[in-house]
Each structure stands twice: as C-alpha cells, then as structure tokens.
Structure 1
Amino acid sequence: MDREIRKLNDTLVNIFNTVMKMEEEAIQNASYDDISITEVHTLEAIGTGRARTMTHVANILGIKVSTLTTAIGRLVKKGYVRRFRDETDRRMVKISLTERGTEVVREHEAFHESMIKEALSRIPDDGIDQFVESISNINDFLVMRSSTAYAGEREFKLAPLHLAGNELPVPIVQAGMSIGVAGSRLASAVAREGGLGLIGTSEIGWRAENYERDPLSANLKAIEEEVARARKAVEDDGGKGLIGAAVMWTHKDAGKYVKAAVKGGAQVIVTSAGLPKDLPAYCSDRKIALLPTISSRRAAAAITKTWTQKYNRTPDGFIFQGPLAAGLLGFKESELEKACVDRYKIIAEVKAELGKLENCPLIVGGGIACREDAEKVYDYGADGIMMGTRFVATEECDASEHYKELYLNCTENDVTIIRSPMKTSVRVMKNSFADSLAATGSEDYDIIEAVRRAACGDYDNGLIFCGVSADKVNSIVTVRDVFREFTT
C-alpha cells in the first residue's frame, strides 16, 4: 500500500508541475511573452462576457481586492484589461478584457480543451466514467481538506463574529420560527445572552384585528413592532447580542417584509427558501448584516456572484441549513438521504467557497442539539451555530405551553418528511394531516396556513416543524441554560 501511496503522490505532484509548465510554454509560443500564467488566470476570472467589479473578480480568485488592484494595474499597462467607472454608479470600478486579453483567454481555453481530449484518448471508452469519478472524488477530498486543515486543529470555542457594522458576542443563532413561535420575547432573551435572536416574519400579524381584511398591512405593522420591541428589551437590559428578522424569500411580499424589519431596527436580515439575489435592493444600509440561508456551495457562489455584479456587495455571512433541520429543507426528497450522508462534506465545501471572501462567516444549523453536535460542525469549518428546536423548549419561547409539550413528548418515530409546495422536503411532527401528505406525496396545500392552524391549537390538522433531534428535548429550560450548555 505504501508503494501505491508514494506513486499517487508523485503522480499528482508531477501532473501539477507539468501542467503549469505546459501552460507557460503555450502562452509564450502564442506570442504572449509579456504575461505570466498567474496573469492569464486573472484574465480568465474577468471573463470574456460583460464587465465585472473588482470585488467579484477578487472573490473568484480568492484574493484581496488590494492584491487584485496591483495585478490589474499591470494588465492595464500591458493592454490586456480595460478599467473604468460604471456609468450608473461612479463609485463602482469595473474591469473587462480588451481584444488582446480576450485572445489570450481563448488561446488558453483551447490549450486546455486540446490537452484534456488528448489525455482522455489514452483511456478506453468504458473506463472514462470511472476515471472522471475518481478524479472528482480526489477533488472533493481536497476541497474538504482545504477547509478543515485549520478548523480541525482549533479548540472548540464560540468566538465573536463581526457581522457588517455589529459584533455578535456569542455566535449562537436562534432560528426565525414563524407564526407564534419566535417573537420578540424569545429573540430578546437570546440577544440578552449575546446571541442573534430572529423574529419569524411569515404571517406574523395573524392575531391582528385587520388580518383577515388586510393581511399585508397587519404583517408589516407586526414586523416593525416586534423588531422594535425586541430591540428595546435588549437595550433596556444591557444586552450585547443582536436582533434580526427571518424572511422566507419565496413569499411574494418578501421585499416589503425586509423593509419593515429595517424600519423597526433590525440589525440582521436572514433569508430562507430560495436564492435572495435581489436582497440588497431592499436593504442598502451596509451596517445591517445580510445572511442568506443556503444548502450547497453552488448556492453560495450564485448569490455572491449576483450581488457583486449588481450591487458591488457580498453577503455578510451565510447560514447553512443542513438536511437534519426542521421545516423547509433545501433538498428534494430524492436528494435528502444522500445529503444526510454527505452533510459534513457539504459543510466543508461551503466553507471552502466562503474562504474566497473577506470576513464571511459560516453559521451551521440542523441537527444541533448538544455541545458535541456543535463541536463536530466546527471541525468542518463552522464559525457559529443555529438552533430552532432547542429554543422552542424554553420558558421564553413565544409559543403556548401546550405547543412546547408536543416537543417534550416527541419520539424519534414521531418525526416524518413531507413534500412542500416549493418541491423540497419538509421535516415535521406526525399527525393526521402530515401522515396524509406523507402517504400521498401531495404538494398541493398552503404550507403557511397549515403552520397557522397548529399555532392556533389545531395540532392534528396543522404542521409542526421540528428537527431530527426533537426526541432529545426532555425538559423546558431557560434560554440562559441553553447558552451555558454551549459556552461553559
């Protein structure tokens, strides 16, 4: 076995060095002797399409903007790059390739295509798929290793996070559970302990007198008031944590919800259910942290790319809601089992993607019920944790005592998976309604109304979101008790 390991190591090192040498020679042979291969890769990051911002290109390359600025200066002088200010926003500097720069990129792409085709021609047709899969597996390992090499060596400690214009003393986030569960009482209790308390905004105005007549007005008013109430409670008690709002992005009024939360004084906006590609359009204040919830590296990359191109801004952090979480999951039923197996791999991949950004922490949620669970996700790159189920079973939770008792009585067999109207999976407690949905696989129902029925006390015909570890909840404690478990 040692012989095979040495041979593989030598082969990988030789491939890397040989390809780098061949790239240099190919560029020089094409009469571009004034440019290095590193500069060619910079041109590739700029791309042959529309102009990109400096921040966007720096993110792709995984370097600081200041470092890129120096490199771009040289490429501009050599005639490969054009640098200019955006006509619609003079503060924004954009870069694009000149005709000469485009020629270099196309020459380089042709070199790679030719090299790969020639290499694959030496492999039998029936072995190509296995070869590609093996190479992909090695790449997956390297992605994880690049993320966990430093994380695995650090002692577990919930260190403060810098989120936009605010510091989060204790990186524990309380999930923004909607409709009577996560209101100002719970959120302020979490923030008093130094964490991030989130107000669940979906149909938050359901108790208002005008809700049936004008639900939007009732919801917007309730969002603003609940956020303001939570902020005041934290400030009155001298709390150092933050108050935010959780917005389901697929909701037709999501943008209005964000504006209402900002008006109420939200310090953080967290989105879920969908890619919030236009979120910065509804919150231009850069002192307010914007944290999209994602379930894959690809989602993080897509959001970052769009924001840097359209708004010259990157997310202030990401929340990874894994396959073990409660409620809406970012996985289809066919993907869920594999996602559960690959959970830590996905966390590492997301962390590696975020490593391309400056100060972009990763908060991991789903399946975290105890300190050991938190330590495990930290080993794979988490900078903070998010919990929902644990905070439902607290004295300060805004839900009714009867609702909380459902969690105390929940066993492992009481949790099931159903399909959502958004075509993804939902983890809920079993009851007559959930059982019928699970049996038929139906997606034709109003998920918000189903959650509201449960909040109103119709526990058999509503939906009760819960995480995979709901069976581990065995007592009602205080929010402070939860924090002590993870911080002492």
Structure 2
Amino acid sequence: MSVKPLTIGELTARIPVIQGGMGVGVSLSGLAGAVAAQGGIGIISTAQIGFREPDYHKNPHEANLRAVRQEIIRAKELAQGGIVGVNIMVATQNYEDYVRTAIEAGADLIISGAGLPVTLPDIAAGASSQGRSHSVKLAPIVSSLKSANVIFKYWMKKYDYLPDMVVIEGPLAGGHLGFTKEQLQDIPGMHYEEEVERILKAVKAYGAEQGKEIPVVMAGGIYTGEEAAYWISRGLQGVQMATRFVTTEECDAHPAFKQTYIDAGEEDIVLVKSPVGMPGRAIRNAFLERAEKGPIPHGRCFGCIKTCKPADTPYCITEALIRAVEGDVENGLLFCGSNACRSDKIEKVEDILGEVADALK
C-alpha cells in the first residue's frame, strides 16, 4: 500500500486523515491549522465556539458567529495552503447562520451530522453566490445505510446535487452518537463492518450514476496508523481521527483536559445520556457522579441545541463542556472517543500524521 492522497473535488490532502471536529473549544484554529499545515484536513468545531468572546454571556449567538469567522481565518493562516473545514451539527440552533458564516469566512469543507443535513446544499448555494471564488465542499456524516440513502435521494431530487464526500461515523466515536444506548452496549453484535460495506457500495453506485467521484471516510475508534491503514485497505479513501489529536501540543484544550485523557483507564470511559437526548461517551469524573444523583442547577440558556429544554435539562451541557475545556475537569463534561484510555503522552500533530503515512507505505 502507498500513501494515496484524499481528493475531494479540486481539494487534495497529501495524507488521507481528517482531524475530527471536537467541541466545545477542543478543535479550534490551533489544532485545525496545524493538521492542515502537515498535509491532513483540519476541522474546527463550531459548537459554542464563541465562549471566550467578552460578550458571550450576553450575546452568545453573535459571539459564536464572530468566533467562527476569526477561527477560520486564523486556521487558514496557519495552514500554509492546507485544507481547513468546519463541523457544524444539524441540531445547532440557527444552523443556517453557522453554515453561511463559515462559507463567507473561507471554509473549504463543511462536515455536518447530529441530524440529517437535508438543507445543506441550499444554504451553501446561497452563501457561495455571495462572492466566493470557489464552491465549498459538503460532507454529511452518516451512521447507517438508511441515513445515507435519505440524504443522497433528497439532495438529488431537491437540489440535483450529490455529496462531495461522506463520513461514516461508527459506534466507537466520541461525543454525541447516532446509535441507541443498547446498540452501544453490544458493539460486536452490531456487525458494523458489514454496514460500512453496504454504505460504501451505495455511495459508489450513486457516484457512478452521476459520473462523480465521492470519497468515503471512516470515523470512530481509529487511533493508530495501522488502524487507519486497515480501513483504507477495505476500500475507503481516508479516515477521520479525533481522540488521538486531543493529547497533542497543538490541541486548543487546557492542559488539564489533555491530562485527563492520559490518566483515564478503560473503566473510566462510560456511556452517558446527554441533556439533548442523545447517547454519548465521556470520561467518568465527579461531575458525572453528581449528575447521576439529580439535576445540577444552571444559569441562562445559551441556545446551543434545538432539542434542549432548559427547564427540564439535568444540567447545562454548554456550561459543562466549557468548564472542562478551560481546565475545571472535575466539574465539567469530558466527551471522548472509545480510545481515550490509550493516550499516554503529549504528542505533536506532525508525528501522528507521519505515523499514518508510514503505515500506508
């Protein structure tokens, strides 16, 4: 096997690795710009991205959109011509505003999940018509053949457009997950590799019908170069890695956040029910133990997720994620992937991408 670039239309990443988007504040311009500069694809998470803005508590929406612009511009400066994209959750309140702002700021790629991004091509077309020199690439995240079929058929019927790339996110991923808790408790029983093969076959068929090359990328549970090489040997064009990049010098999270990953054992990684109604994976700490005993009082609503009901939520997920990324790791929510317990040191982005490149030679 040799290192084959990941090509998305006119975009080409020398190393077929996408650094997964991690919010709140874990993957901002520092991490995304570094990954892009080293030949991968750097991704900024837009989830409550403006939490460091001085007016965030008064005007969270305006602060978030301002930060989207600033972080994309900074990442592009660091990227030295590399590819910088954003991850925008469909479940985000005012989703359309984030898509438009990211495109106007110069994002090369939009990856979108946590719901079906059925309107993404329409929003992007409107934003791209406002003076962009090239069209942004659009990549839905899917976890099943059913969701892939829905997106492909809807986009073609409504917009005469096929995705530029597809990200398959499996059950070993971090953050909010597109599976039931029961499925996540019996991952071997899911036979998920068979589902990956079905999705890959379907994407190839859709692309062939329209004469379009659509790369497919695997995400979830990929930590080493060898694991990346395995999926690429199965016919995928690249991989998305997130957890591995948390414990890097370039990651935007607080050093205490990174150290929690290094200190975590396998028994510390647990499934949790997010206040927004989706299962997720996190590192057990004092905060989760308190949450199990009853609701944790919270302040104002920051308008993060459409499905959240502030009056009924057991805790504010925005407050919890911000506390964690700023270093208060015992009083915050530490989302992670299934492999967080494998972290044992602080690394450099360059070395991780080099490991993947070596495994593909």
Secondary structure of residue in 2 paired with 1:252: coil
Provide TM-score, normalisation by structure 2.
0.86
Supply the AA of the counterpart residue of 2:24: I
Separation in 2 of the partners of 1:255 and 1:359? 27
CA contact 2:321–2:332 (8 Å) conserved in 1: yes
Q: State whether structure 2 residue 193 is matched by structure 1 residue 344.
A: yes
Partner of 2:250: 396
Secondary structure of residue in 2 paired with 1:245: strand
Shifted more, 190-199 versus 375-384: the winner is 375-384
CA contact 2:226–2:356 (8 Å) conserved in 1: no
Point out the structure with the larger helix share.
1
Partner of 1:354: 203
* Shift, 1:340, TM fit: 4.4
Partner of 2:175: 327
Deviation digits for residues 271-328 of structure 1 (CA, Å, limit 9, x no counterpart)? 1211000011221147211111111111111111111111110111111111111111
What are the ranges of 5 or more consecutive residues in structure 1 without an aligned counterpart? 1-154
Partner of 1:302: 150
Match of 1:453 among 297, 300, 323: 323
* Shift, 1:382, TM fit: 2.0
Q: 1:338 to 1:361 in 2, by over 3 A?
A: farther
Partner of 1:280: 121
Supply the AA of the counterpart residue of 2:203: L
Deviation digits for residues 339-370 of structure 1 (CA, Å, limit 9, x no counterpart)? 44422122112111111123111111111111
Q: 1:313 to 1:339 in 2, by over 3 A?
A: farther
* Shift, 1:422, TM fit: 4.1
Matched residue count: 329
Q: State whether structure 2 residue 334 is matched by structure 1 residue 464.
A: yes
Separation in 2 of the partners of 1:305 and 1:433? 43
Q: State whether structure 2 residue 15 is matched by structure 1 residue 170.
A: yes
* Shift, 1:443, TM fit: 6.9
Match of 2:346 among 447, 453, 476: 476
Kindly, what percent of the aligned residue pairs are identical?
35
Partner of 1:195: 40
* Shift, 1:421, TM fit: 3.5
Shifted more, 247-256 versus 456-465: the winner is 456-465
Deviation digits for residues 208-250 of structure 1 (CA, Å, limit 9, x no counterpart)? 1111111111100110111011112223xxx4x3000111110
Partner of 2:239: 385
CA contact 1:173–1:196 (8 Å) conserved in 2: yes
* Shift, 1:448, TM fit: 2.7
Secondary structure of residue in 1 paired with 2:88: strand
Partner of 2:87: 246
Match of 2:78 among 233, 252, 256: 233
CA contact 2:118–2:155 (8 Å) conserved in 1: yes
Q: 1:257 to 1:353 in 2, by over 3 A?
A: same
Secondary structure of residue in 1 paired with 2:338: coil
Provide TM-score, normalisation by structure 1.
0.64
Shifted more, 259-268 versus 454-463: the winner is 454-463
Partner of 2:49: 204
Deviation digits for residues 448-485 of structure 1 (CA, Å, limit 9, x no counterpart)? 33211212332122111111111111111110000111
Partner of 1:376: 230
Secondary structure of residue in 1 paired with 2:167: strand
What are the ranges of 5 or more consecutive residues in structure 2 without an aligned counterpart? 129-133, 296-311
Supply the AA of the counterpart residue of 2:20: A
* Shift, 1:257, TM fit: 0.8
Q: 1:482 to 1:455 in 2, by over 3 A?
A: same
Separation in 2 of the partners of 1:409 and 1:403? 10
Over the aligned positions, Cα root-mean-square deviation in angstroms equals 2.0
Secondary structure of residue in 2 paired with 1:251: coil
Separation in 1 of the partners of 2:273 and 2:341? 22
Q: 1:332 to 1:164 in 2, by over 3 A?
A: same
Separation in 1 of the partners of 2:294 and 2:230? 36
CA contact 2:255–2:327 (8 Å) conserved in 1: no
Larger Rg: 1
